[in-house]
Amino acid sequence: MRTAQLTIDPAFTIGPADRRLFGSFVEHMGRCVYGGVYEPGHPTADGRGLRGDVLALTRELGVSVVRYPGGNFVSGYRWEDGVGPVGDRPRRLDLAWKTIETNAFGLDEFMTWAAEAGVEPMMAVNLGTRGVREALDLLEYANHPGGTQLSDLRRKHGAEEPYGVRLWCLGNELDGPWQVGHKTADEYGRLAAETARAMKMIDPSISLVACGSSNRRMPTFASWEATVLEHTYEHVDYISAHTYYDPSDGDRASILASAVDMDNFIRDVVATADHVAAKQRHRRKLRISFDEWNVWYESRLQADLDRRGWVEAPALIEDDFTAVDAVVVGDLLITLLRHADRVGVACQAQLANVIAPIRTRTGGPAWRQSIFHPFALTARYARGTVLRTEPVSPTYETKKYGEVPVLDTVAVHDEETGVLTVFAVNRGETDLPLDLDLRGLPGLRGLAHTSLAAGDDPTATNTEAEPERVTPREMNTPTTDGGRSSVLLPAVSWNVLRFAPTGDV
């Protein structure tokens, strides 16, 4: 049996585990909003129509920030349609997802929901079919205290205090020809720069995200980022990155190694941004907002779109996630943490029903999908400083990525409590012994080992009938001897190893 080794030293730091890395995404797509976070008349809904069971699961998930209202949806959206008396709001065609948008849920409802969920709002402005003026109007409505037409309109609608939205996306995936209002890099870059400059005239405290490529496979990838940042670098705080991994598109060995691709994606975007910074003599390092990522059976999307006409909130890409999918999601979270020095925001897409950790039945219960668990536990325990790890690991062969390590890891050290948390994925089909050298943090004892493994049924899913079929389980508590510890990572598994100073809980 092959063994892996890992040395942990608190001197080798990456950066703080920013809480914004544990973001999610609510788009007007499928049943994410209607039947997901919002369902008037549901047994758990409050007087505003917000589903209480979804709110509770959102808090349990540990979500820190939520991006809204899209996604592709935002490129054709009029934000004014979603404020004011619900009975006066117009019904519109949504070209992005071929649905009818009722606008019963809009900005004011989202901000109320965000406050109830305890999450930070991340708003996207429409730079597909709209521009600078509309973005300024939205910012004035949301953030200006009062005394102007739009800020007073917000107060009239019941929000006396400004919403104080700090994070703003300058459009969405405008490199994609599927996007309503698709643009060239120069067209978008100039518009984004003009919009950013004007928005910061209203509120200099906001942070802005420029659109990067919609995925790394785009023919314009990297050249898009370079051109956009040549226009926007001095005006924005983040460049976005989006990626999804389709388990039906390749062999299991490759899907288990998806984080290898995400890792390279991040490095490529960082290199491109740093090139622009050097070229323009900027000393500030731009960060990445990885504001769309997940496992997604994307090959099923077109069939979902083609089999119906224009309807309200149809079931759309409601994927049932397997145990293997949960291991992949856990590994993607490891990668985001490993780049905590340059990735400042990350949003798993989406929160409810649409390729989501939370599933619901209209009028019925809500339950946790398999991918809920690695997200929730990482959000709970990744607190403190991310430490650099260089594991020594056996390798295996994949069709997509060649030879990759069996083991993937990251460590987070909480300086206040002294607790060390190691997140580890075994991508291999056999159990993997792992030897840890913890002498850089003397006096640690094993606290817990939690594992989510594919086990005998890697295709197992959580359903309404069996909502707890795929859940993490507690393993033997790690023992330490002379600053060393040995654990066994089950085959195809995501693991949390926790160590605490002797005498502490």
pLDDT by 10s per residue, the chain, length 505: 589 999 999 999 999 999 999 999 999 999 999 999 999 999 999 999 999 999 999 999 999 999 999 999 999 999 999 999 999 999 999 999 999 999 999 999 999 999 999 999 999 999 999 999 999 999 999 999 999 999 999 999 999 999 999 999 999 999 999 999 999 999 999 999 999 999 999 999 999 999 999 999 999 999 999 999 999 999 999 999 999 999 987 789 999 999 999 999 999 999 999 999 999 999 999 999 999 999 999 877 777 777 788 999 999 999 999 999 999 999 999 999 999 999 999 999 999 999 999 999 999 999 999 999 999 999 999 999 999 999 999 999 999 999 999 999 999 999 999 999 999 999 999 999 999 999 999 999 999 999 999 987 899 999 999 999 999 999 999 999 999 999 999 999 999 999 999 875 4
CB 62 within 8 A of CB 375: yes
Angle of the 372-381 helix axis to the 52-61 helix axis, nearest 10: 50
Cα distance between residue 478 and residue 447, in whole Å: 7
> Which residue type occupies 327?
V
Q: Does the structural domain 18-246+284-381 have CATH classification 3.90.380.10? A: no
SS3 159: coil
pLDDT at residue 504, as a whole number: 53
Read off the amino acid at residue 448.
A
Tell whether domain 4-11+386-501 is in CATH 2.60.40.1180: yes
Distance (Å, whole) CA 435 – CA 441: 15
Residues 127/135, Cβ–Cβ less than 8 Å:
yes
Q: Residue 31 and residue 488: Cα distance in Å, rounded?
A: 40
Which residues carry out catalysis? Answer: 173, 292
Which of 381, 478, 401, 482 lies closest to 433, judged by CA?
A: 478
Instruction: Yes or no: say if 270 and 289 are a contact pair by the CB < 8 Å rule.
Output: no
- 69 cis-preceded (ω within 30 degrees of 0): yes
CA 128 vs CA 19, 70, 132, 169, 189: distances in Å = 30, 12, 11, 12, 12
The span from the CA of 351 to the CA of 124, in Å, is: 16
Token readout for 116 is 């109830």
Q: Please report the DSSP string for 201-235 in residue order.
A: HH-TT-EEEE---S-TTSTTTTHHHHHHHHHHTTT
- Give the number of residues written for the chain: 505
Which pLDDT belongs to residue 308?
80
DSSP string, 417-472: T--EEEEEEE-SSS-EEEEEE-TTSTTEEEEEEEEEE-TT-TT-B--SSSTTSS--
Residue ranges of E strands in 303-406: 311-312, 343-349, 358-360, 366-368, 385-387, 395-398, 402-405
pLDDT of residue 505: 46
Comparing CA positions, the residue from 388, 412, 394 lying closest to residue 496 is: 412
Please report, for the chain, the start and end positions of each structural domain, with discontinuous segments joined by +: 4-11+386-501, 18-246+284-381
Q: Is the pTM of this model over 0.85?
A: yes
- CA–CA separation, 135 vs 126, rounded Å? 7
Q: Is residue 328 helix, strand or coil?
A: helix
Q: Edge-to-edge, what's the strand order for the sheet holding 407-413?
A: 13-16, 385-387, 407-413, 420-426, 493-501, 444-453, 473-474
Q: What is the pLDDT of residue 302?
A: 77
Give pLDDT, residue 285: 96
For the stretch 61-101, pLDDT in tens is 999 999 999 999 999 999 999 999 999 999 999 999 999 99
- In what helix (H) or strand (E) does residue 65 lie, and over which residues does it extend? strand 65-68
N- to C-terminal Cα separation, the chain: 34
Smallest Cα–Cα separation from 352: which of 319, 322, 324?
A: 319
What is the Cα gyration radius of the chain? 23
Supply 408's token pair. Answer: 């993937």
Cα–Cα distance, 214 to 176 (Å, whole number): 7
Q: How far apart are CA 93 and CA 98, in angstroms?
A: 7
- Which of 200, 201, 212 has the alpha carbon at shortest distance from 242? 212
Per DSSP bridges, beta strands 343-349 and 23-25 are parallel
pLDDT for res 309: 82
Q: Is 60 exposed, middle or buried (0-12, 13-18, 19+ CB in 10 A)?
A: middle
Q: What is the DSSP letter of 392?
A: B
What's the Cα-to-Cα distance from 442 to each of 10, 437, 438, 439, rounded to whole Å? 11, 10, 7, 5
Judged by DSSP in three states, 376 sits in helix
The answer for residues whose C-beta is within 8 angstroms of residue 4's C-beta and 6 or more apart is 391, 392, 393, 394, 406, 407, 432, 433, 434, 435
- Please name the residues in contact with 490: beta carbons below 8 A apart, sequence gap of 6 or more: 426, 431, 451, 453, 455, 475
